[in-house]
A and B are shown apart, each in its own frame.
Chain A
Amino acid sequence: MVRIIGILIGLFFSGWLLVSFGMGAKEYITNPPVETAEHAFHKEAKDVSFTSDGPLGKFDRQQLQRGFQVYKEVCAACHSLRLVAFRNLEEIGYNEDEVKAIAANWPIQTPDVDPATGEMSTRASVAADKLPKPFANDVAAGAANNNAIPPDLSLITKAREGGAPYIYSLLTGYQAPPADLPKANQPGPGLHYNPYFANLNLAMAPPLAAADMVSYSDGTKASIDQMAKDVSAFLIWSAEPKLEERHQAGWAVLAFLLIATILAYLSYRTIWADVKAEKKKKSAEA
């Protein structure tokens, strides 16, 4: 009885799936799907490497500081970095006094309550504060940016398919729209063509428009490419500040497990030796 009911249900599901397949296939052949311009013109992220890549990867602190400088002088005007505190900057090589100075001189002040009046007010930041946001809220951010809210950058290299190479590609990927781009996909007012962006047109104007927008204190030449790479490396750190700790711990755990597993394997061989010998002997006799 179970089997008869089962066969009937099976015939229904499998049968209807095959009928659906047939109808879908007919539609597919008579009316094949057209490739969208978003798909045809979209480019995969450029091949770019960072010192933090791979299981042995470590941050290049000099590069992180350069990237932080780019964030501070270029990106921070519109993009928040709300999960990073000033004190975290010690992890990329600034000392305590430098961090205090960076916090105190940050162009945007930290919102607070005036201790004398109780009114909402702002004050200079201290090391324990998170980096203040450039806009008071999303409405203000949208209003100032043609209704496109600049995303927070704290986790951006983990929150986008393609990671840091995608961020680098986006920053260096602005170009004139190709001649054969369909009219519907031409950048409208306030939009900028960038084939690395999923729908090809981006509200953000090219942020790294010219070389030497920042002047690096370590003498590195601030080409557009260099600035894009540095800020991408910095954003890997902001998204995954424990990356080096993770890699180090991984190797230690791996070394321990390798030794433990080899020992466990050897004891397994020893324990099973009599059973295996019996098996061998008997199969040799047979």
Chain B
Amino acid sequence: MSFPWAKQYTPTTEFGQWMDKQLPLPRFVYNSVGAGYPAPRNLNYMWNFGSMAGLFLVVQIVTGIILAMHYAANATIAFDSVEHIMRDVNSGWMIRYAHANGASFFFIAIYLHIGRGLFYGSYKAPREMLWLLGVVIYLLAMATAFMGYVLPWGQMSFWGAKVITGLFEAIPFIGKPIQELLLGGFAPDNAALNRFFSLHYLLPFVIVGVVIMHIWALHIPGSNNPTGVDVKGPQDTVPFHPYYTAKDGWTIGLALIFFTILMFFLPNALGHADNYIPANPLSTPAHIVPEWYFWPWYAILRAFTFDFLFIPAKLLGVLAMFSAILVWFFLPWLDKSPVRSGSFRPKFKIFFVILVIDVLILGYCGGAPAEEPFVMISQLAAAYYFAHFLIILPLLSRLEKPEPLPTSITESVTGKPLTTAS
């Protein structure tokens, strides 16, 4: 962090000085999450979900590595090996329930983290790269979670894999070969299960790599803050440690309390009963639904029910579903309003609230069976989703008159102007 008032790392012990010359790892930690990283003093609790997502990523990797010691990625015994973990492995049930519910908590944290970025304009200059890397992390997490859900080889694993890889079939000419490449065959079977297991083990480490770049990109401009106003002087900041380590620390305790309640007392509440039935290619479940964190996208996929000229409805749905996430890559250039924080954008605020409700409605419809009236509702909700990002935000940045911004973070917190010159 390059703020001139950031405390410099000065090793006091002889070993510390020796270490600093040879491998300045303590200096690195000090400057990234220590007292050498000044962070805006006014960050609210919405800024806690980044570290929380990081925590649950670690939970997933640790529990996942232990599960892989007992799991067998073979279509004939995968289901039973999971039950072996649940019944015969010491505390295996705890590890597996932590892993299954940890995925949900990772996505809860990441959705709140994305929502924070959307409202406070954290994607705007000078943080575009930070935002783009975040979208990459989200896409990788989706792929990882999808493949992880296939591994227990239950009914929903099998049919979920069939439906999702079947989406590629909609792409003209190259769709079918892509689907066969993904599955290693014409339908999900042992080849698919094996490559999904391999990739499910690989991708979390790729995520860790992108997370490191994400945090690196964060440390170039420093954190955004609820006012969206740039940091102007030392009074605007507090050292990351101990201030934000303490704040993150106690909310992580709070998150773990909710996690404990879910994984010990309601471990299957977010799962699907059908996944306790072994995969059976000859029997299709009545309702094939993905995990809850995919529901909004699943609703958009199913909202396209009519062909457009020569484009079949299924292909439109697939294009729309991918576009719904890929649009985030263009967000910094779609929303050109110079004001970052939604707090000072009276109209944006209203549209943002509508967007949140809209995505919740899409999520509800995505989890519901593909029947009326859910299809009609998801058509309206999906129409607003695309309109919000692609029509409303670009026009709003032209038309809206933002409220006056505070001159500094310190002024917004204390009501007094910043006294020291920056």
Q: Which residues in A have some Cβ–Cβ distance to B below 8 Å? A: 2-3, 6-7, 9-11, 13-21, 23-25, 28, 33, 54-55, 83, 88, 151, 154-155, 158-161, 163, 198, 239, 241-242, 245-247, 249-250, 253-254, 257-258, 260-261, 264-265, 267-268, 271-272, 275, 278-279, 282-283, 285-286
Contacts and interface: CB of A to CB of B under 8 A. Distances in A.
B250 interface: yes
A83 B316 CA distance: 44
Contacts of A9: 323, 386, 390
Interface stretch (B17-25, B195-203, B254-262): B254-262
Nearest to B93: A242
A247 B264 contact: yes
B260 A250 contact: yes
A14 B386 contact: yes
A151 B382 CA distance: 40
B390 A278 contact: no
Interface string B260-290: 1101110110000110110000000010000
B86 A242 contact: yes
B305 A24 contact: yes
B372 A254 contact: no
B66 to A, nearest CB: 16
Contacts of B415: 282-283, 286
A275 to B, nearest CB: 6
A275 B305 contact: no
Contacts of B185: none
B267 A159 contact: no
A272 B246 contact: yes
Interface in B187-208: none
A198 B379 contact: no
A21 B414 contact: no
Given A155-B276, A268-B250, A17 B386 contact: yes
B80 interface: yes
Nearest to B394: A3
Contacts of B383: 13-15, 17-18, 21
Interface string B9-53: 000000000000000000000000000000001000000000000
Chain B interface SS verdict (over half): helix
B132 to A, nearest CB: 14
Given A158-B268, A257-B260, A3 B380 contact: no
Interface in B214-248: 238, 242-243, 246-247
Contacts of A11: 390-391
B246 A254 contact: no
B260 A6 contact: no
B87 A83 contact: yes
A24 B375 contact: yes
B273 A161 contact: yes
Nearest to B262: A250
B320 interface: yes
B250 A265 contact: yes
B86 A264 contact: no
14 contacts: A10-B387, A13-B320, A14-B383, A17-B379, A33-B372, A151-B277, A155-B83, A247-B265, A258-B257, A261-B250, A264-B246, A264-B249, A264-B252, A268-B247
B177 to A, nearest CB: 27
B273 A159 contact: yes
B372 A24 contact: yes
